[in-house]
Amino acid sequence: MGTKSIAVLTSGGDAPGMNAAIRAVARAGISSGMRVIGVRRGYNGLISGDVFEMNLRSVSDIIHRGGTTLFTARSPEFNTPAGVQKAADTCRSLGIDGVVVIGGDGSFRGARDLTGAGIPCVGLPGTIDNDIQCSEYTIGFDTAMNTAMDMVDKLRDTAQSHDRCSVVEVMGRRCGDIALQTGIAVGATAILVPEVPFDLEKDVIKRMQFTQLTGKKHFIIVVAEGIGGVDDLARQIQEKTGIESRATVLGHVQRGGSPTLRDRVVASEMGFRAVELLQAGEGNRVVAMKEGRIVDYDITEALNMKKTISKKLYDIALKISI
């Protein structure tokens, strides 16, 4: 028997495109004759029953908005077996047969626990960091990179005007994807990511000095958040090269803003697939992208996968950023 009533929630950090995914889930579910329940503030809302029934117009005019209209929150209570049981009981009392969870790895672990408590869940990868092991792309990644690129382009104007070095920290804790692709897009002299060990002297100072000899006067260094210490890095660069260096942390500005076309389309495709899975009575799945196609995996299998940075892209960056 197919699912008759599904809920949708967003959990963990917000990401542009989450609203497009919510909209796709609501519209696809309702079009298929299901009841769709919106859950506010992530798993907290599922525990407390902070929910509302959605109709086709509940998701009007949200596809172009950043953030999440369902709001999001971390839920310490849901991390306990009692919290999971409470959420499952709420689902049963509301007649919810399945839940679509839009978020990151932590959200997927929660979805696995809730499935284990008898409520089938499907996870959608929503995080700007692109750090979901099973998916080559996550909702929000493209928008975040475009925001970072725009900001660095603006910083470059000042670096150029003053013959300075601009050291820019972009988001991505354990994952250097934003830094790598933004660094290539802005012509950074050096890109520092957590996945590749670096030597300040060889990988930053020497590269700057080499490009100086070829006539370069201003520099951009892009650093992933997981590396950190950009103020100290800028100070060391200035001491060793004599080039005035300034550090900038772009921060949460990268998490907001109107989603790009790519994020809207991918979020819509993924949201639609999640409804198809729940309609077929399938739970404990994560929707992902593989080789440009939308696929799905068992959650446990997905959480055990390993993801690495593109070595080829990193090598390209090294060769063309001199």
Catalytic residues: 129
State how far the Cα of 276 lies from the Cα of 29, in Å rounded to an integer.
9
**Residue 276: both structure tokens together:** 């198809």
| Gap between the Cα atoms of 177 and 253, Å rounded | 17
Q: Which amino acid is at 245?
A: S
Extract the tokens encoding 232.
Answer: 């100290």
Identify which of 251, 259, 254, 250 has the alpha carbon closest to the alpha carbon of residue 16. Answer: 259
Half-sphere exposure (Cβ direction) of 89: Cα atoms closer than 13 Å: 9
Please name the residues in contact with 193: beta carbons below 8 A apart, sequence gap of 6 or more.
Answer: 172, 176, 179, 180, 224, 226, 227, 309, 314
Strands 165-170 and 219-224: parallel
Residue 148 near residue 250, CB atoms below 8 Å = yes
One-letter amino acid at 300 equals: T
Are 121 and 98 in contact by the 8 Å Cβ rule? The answer is yes
Measured CA to CA, the distance from residue 96 to residue 93 in angstroms comes to 8
Residue at token pair 């959480």: 303
Query: Encoding tokens for residue 244?
Result: 């005035």
Query: Both ends of the chain: CA-CA distance in Å?
Result: 60
